Amino acid sequence: DAKTTQPPSMDCAEGRAANLPCNHSTISGNEYVYWYRQIHSQGPQYIIHGLKNNETNEMASLIITEDRKSSTLILPHATLRDTAVYYCIVRFIYNQGGKLIFGQGTELSVKP
C-alpha cells in the first residue's frame, strides 16, 4: 500500500471548515484513499473513502485531485467534538480484508 504524508497538527476555529490535506504521490490506480479519526481515549472511527471521484457523506467530504496524488478531507462546520487525530490511509482496492496501516496522522484542534 502507498505511503501517505500528513501535517502533524492543525488548528481550526469552531464553525469554520476544516481542510485536512494528505499527500499520496505514489498511489496506484488500484488503491483507495481512506480517512479515519481517533478521538481521545476512543478507538479509530471510519469517516469516508474514495477512489477517484469526490465523495460526500453525513460526516465529511473527500476531494481527490485529478492525478490522485493528493486529497483533502473537509469537515464543513467543525465543532469542538471534531478535535481528534485524523488518519489518511491508502489501500489496495482488492485488499478488502487486509490490515490497515496507520501513520502518525494530523492532530486537529478545533478552538472556540
Tell me which residues touch other proteins (CB under 8 A).
32, 34, 36, 38, 41-46, 49, 96-105
Q: What residue type is 21 in one-letter code? A: P
**92 in Cβ contact with 1 (< 8 Å):** yes
- Give whichever of 6 and 70 is closer to other proteins, judged by the CB atom: 6
Tell me the closest approach of the beta carbon of residue 43 to other proteins, in angstroms.
3
- Give whichever of 36 and 110 is closer to other proteins, judged by the CB atom: 36
Tell me the closest approach of the beta carbon of residue 44 to other proteins, in angstroms.
5
Tell me the closest approach of the beta carbon of residue 96 to other proteins, in angstroms.
5
